[in-house]
Amino acid sequence: MPSLERYQSGEVTLLSDARVAGGVTFAFTERTGGVSEAPYASLNLGDACGDDPGRVAENRRRALGAIGADGLADRLVTPRQVHGDKVVRVASGDDGAVRAAAREAREGADAVVCTAECVPVLLCFADCVPVVLICPGGFAVVHSGWRGTMARIVAKAARALAEQAGADAGEIRAYVGPHVLARDYEVSEELAARFAAEFGPDVIVGERNLDLSAALAATLAEAGVGEGAVAWCEDSTASTTPRFFSYRAEEGTCGRHGALAVMGAPAPAWE
């Protein structure tokens, strides 16, 4: 059964599973260990929130180094996230193919499926749900806010990963990273009603607090990823801002933590 534990790589703190096989290394970063200043302090990985680009580049260098992807910054695929359901595929490690995938991702996407070695993928978050899917021969990194959850982007990415890697959905392991939990996520009556109609009443806690975790669990099950193949982060970003960025708790001005993965890079040394 997959699990998430805290690790240290230099000054960077990560959530990951050191037991993952198949040559894939992944991590959800925490906000410490970088060079950005308030309100983006300190390991801000987002390049569209107002932070200094040079600081973001250094933070990304540190994060990539923490997962063993030193020297692969020029092969990084990091989408411009648009809260949709587009999935970009990286099937070849050829430089031209990687550049093409990176360009496609920057046009707008919220998931990347990768079956090529030494191609790191980064998506950024500050309350929305980060998901990493891993199976023999590949991985996917997914951004699932409420719109993406409603569009079932995680299921779409899981199906794309299984197809591209030649795997069965039952071989996929899912890791759900830090995001805003139901206790901190009150939504409008209209949105609560939409989610209850789509996923059942259990996704609404109390009158109108939205449980994205419950909706994602249902979506993963629909895609063939069983409950025992999913690891969850139990920390809510909105109430743990010393560790994670939260758009909601920090009133819209903050950095972004990340979900990163790479296949075929040297295994990192974590403490």
Question: What's the pLDDT at 22?
Answer: 84
User: In 3D, which of 109, 110, 108, 206 has the Cα closest to residue 149?
Assistant: 110
Question: What's the pLDDT at 145?
Answer: 97
Q: Give the strand order in the sheet containing 230-232.
A: 87-90, 111-114, 138-144, 129-135, 173-176, 230-232
At 100-122, the pLDDT tens digits run 999 999 999 999 999 999 999 99
Task: Report how far residue 197's alpha carbon sits from residue 240's, in angstroms, rounded to the nearest whole number.
Answer: 30
Question: What's the pLDDT at 19?
Answer: 86
User: In 3D, which of 243, 220, 242 has the Cα closest to residue 233?
Assistant: 243
Question: What's the pLDDT at 141?
Answer: 98
Identify the DSSP state of 171: G
Question: What's the pLDDT at 1?
Answer: 79
State the pTM of this model: 0.98
Q: Please list the residues that pair with 176 across neighbouring strands.
A: 131, 232
User: In 3D, which of 144, 134, 132 has the Cα closest to residue 179?
Assistant: 144
What residues in the chain have per-residue pLDDT under 70? none
Let me know if 98 is exposed, middle or buried by CB neighbors in 10 A (0-12, 13-18, 19+). buried
Question: What's the pLDDT at 153?
Answer: 98
Q: Would you put residue 59 in left (φ > 0), alpha (ψ -120 to 50) or beta?
A: alpha
Q: Please list the residues that pair with 52 across neighbouring strands.
A: none
Identify the DSSP state of 241: T
User: What is the DSSP code string of 9-76?
Assistant: ETTEEEEE-TT--TTEEEEEE-S-SS-PPTTS-S----SSSS--HHHHHHHHHHHHHHTT-TT-GGG-
Chain centre to alpha carbon of residue 242: 19
Question: What's the pLDDT at 235?
Answer: 97
Q: Please list the residues that pair with 112 across neighbouring strands.
A: 88, 141
Question: What's the pLDDT at 232?
Answer: 97
